Structure 1
Amino acid sequence: MVLTLLFPIRCAGCGAEGVRSCARCLGAFGPPRRVPFPGSPVFTLADYAGAARELVLALKERGRRDLAAVFGALIAAALPVLPGMFPDESGNRWLVPAPSRRAAIRRRGGSHLVGVARASGARVAPALAYARGVRDSVGLDASARRANLGGRVRLVPAGLPPPGTSVVLLDDVVTTGATAAACTSMLLSAGLRVSAVMTLTAVRRGDTPG
């Protein structure tokens, strides 16, 4: 109670007091819509702009891990309506969080996407990791992003679901599709079926993430 009085909860999108994310900011997210990238179908819940961008950055870079539950609820609502996304024989839907660099994971106190995946209620398969040498992709164009990831996405055997499982790759922002393509390729090599890539936000073509 005292902590709440001293440090009131504020919306991570606009700063309104009393809520983690207000209804107005959450209104930036809608049902999954497909964005044009080659390979497995890519779906997003919002453009990487305005309140949606602020909420993602708060979760990812500003320590607002309480937003994992908010994004988890959005993903839970989106999964059943994704085309080709079917539960396994036990009724489970599987999410594979996209990897983060080791330095980022240490700085953030863990993988923010694993937290979102767990909060969604789906089965979580932490099956991917980055090898050494991957650098921050902010500011890189499509070809540089592909080169940055080339040969540096690896499988984590202990995190793999059973072969043949239909999974959804979960990411926070899709910019050029390079991460989605590299991760999908590795999952397919493990005998999994990637039914879709689900992202919280997508950068509009011509925009620069930041």
Structure 2
Amino acid sequence: MAGLGHELADLVLPRSCPGCGAAQPWCAGCARTLADRPREPMLGESTLDGFAAAAMALPQFRALARYRGPARAAVIAGKEHGRRDLPPRLGRALATGLLRLQRIGLAPPTELWLLPAPTKSTAARGRGGDPVTAMACAVARQLAATGQRVSVARTLRTGAGAADSAGLSAAARADNLAGRIKVRRSALPPPDAALVLLDDVLTTGATALASCLALAAHQRQVSLVLTVAAVPDWRRTG
């Protein structure tokens, strides 16, 4: 029923830009806020400690924008307000960012496996679908149009017992997800596949850490974590 309601809304409700209210679904000006080169966000200490404790290589982390302004508005509208047209648009921005990272050697060059970050199945049903998976499929379509071999694998899921992470500290987020990200064995990419973990927002990196740990238990390694937006500031280099 939720999905049917969203479909009817898509047909009858006018779509305005979530970033500025313009009379178009996603205006060019707000889209440009996601067009800069993907940058590296600062990870929480608990996340860095988690990778170190597991003796696991730290993937590259990149985001298109800070979690504010049009980026934040578009993510929230797509996730919480039934704007199912927005995740594919955000996915196309992610694809452009991923292509830029490939050109400078920060992303695997070809034959990618895109893994949507895990979402509770109940939450996905309530939203009429999983927006992160919708983004991943849009990324795959755009990369495939350039001749690349790319697949989307819904390998990760959130198991029982994980609470809503809103308001939790970085350490509490890590504890909340520890051992609760599960792997669907039937959806595992091949061994030695080039894996890119996709998500809408990076807050502390706890979800990425838990996802990488779950995959490492099956001898799979993530090369890149790419998100639309990041809460932390950018990491300074040089």
Greater relative contact order structure (CA < 8 Å, 6+ sep): 2
Give 1:5 shift: 10
Letter in 2 for 1:117: A
The normalised TM-score by structure 2 is 0.78
Tell me the distance in 1 between the aligned counterparts of 2:188 and 2:205.
Answer: 22
Show structure 2 runs of 5+ residues with no match. 1-8, 49-57, 142-149, 234-238
**Superposition RMSD in Å:** 1.9
Question: 1:201 matched to which residue of 2?
Answer: 229
Going from structure 1 to structure 2, the CA distance change for 1:52 and 1:155 (only over 3 Å counts) comes to: same
- Equivalence map 1:4-23=2 (5 Å): 7-17=13-23, 19-23=24-28
The normalised TM-score by structure 1 is 0.88
Q: Aligned to 2:65, what secondary structure does the other structure show?
A: coil
Tell me the distance in 2 between the aligned counterparts of 1:49 and 1:59.
Answer: 15
1:34-90 Cα shifts (integer Å, max 9, x gaps): 1233321210000000111000101111111111221121121122232042212xx
Letter in 2 for 1:179: T
How many residue pairs end up in the alignment? 198
Question: 1:136 matched to which residue of 2?
Answer: 164
Question: Could you tell me whether the CA contact under 8 Å between 1:168 and 1:195 is conserved in 2?
Answer: yes
What fraction of aligned residue pairs are identical, expressed as a percent?
41
Moved over 6 A (4+): 3-6
Question: Could you tell me whether the CA contact under 8 Å between 1:79 and 1:85 is conserved in 2?
Answer: no
Show structure 1 runs of 5+ residues with no match. 206-210
2:188 to 160, 172, 191: 160
1:76 to 71, 92, 95: 95
Letter in 1 for 2:20: C
Question: 2:179 matched to which residue of 1?
Answer: 151
Question: 1:208 matched to which residue of 2?
Answer: none
Query: Is residue 231 of structure 2 the alignment partner of residue 188 of structure 1?
Result: no
Letter in 1 for 2:128: G
User: Higher helix fraction: Structure 1 or Structure 2?
Assistant: 2
Q: Aligned to 2:172, what secondary structure does the other structure show?
A: helix
Letter in 1 for 2:37: P
Question: 1:126 matched to which residue of 2?
Answer: 154
Query: Is residue 93 of structure 2 the alignment partner of residue 67 of structure 1?
Result: no
Question: 1:111 matched to which residue of 2?
Answer: 130
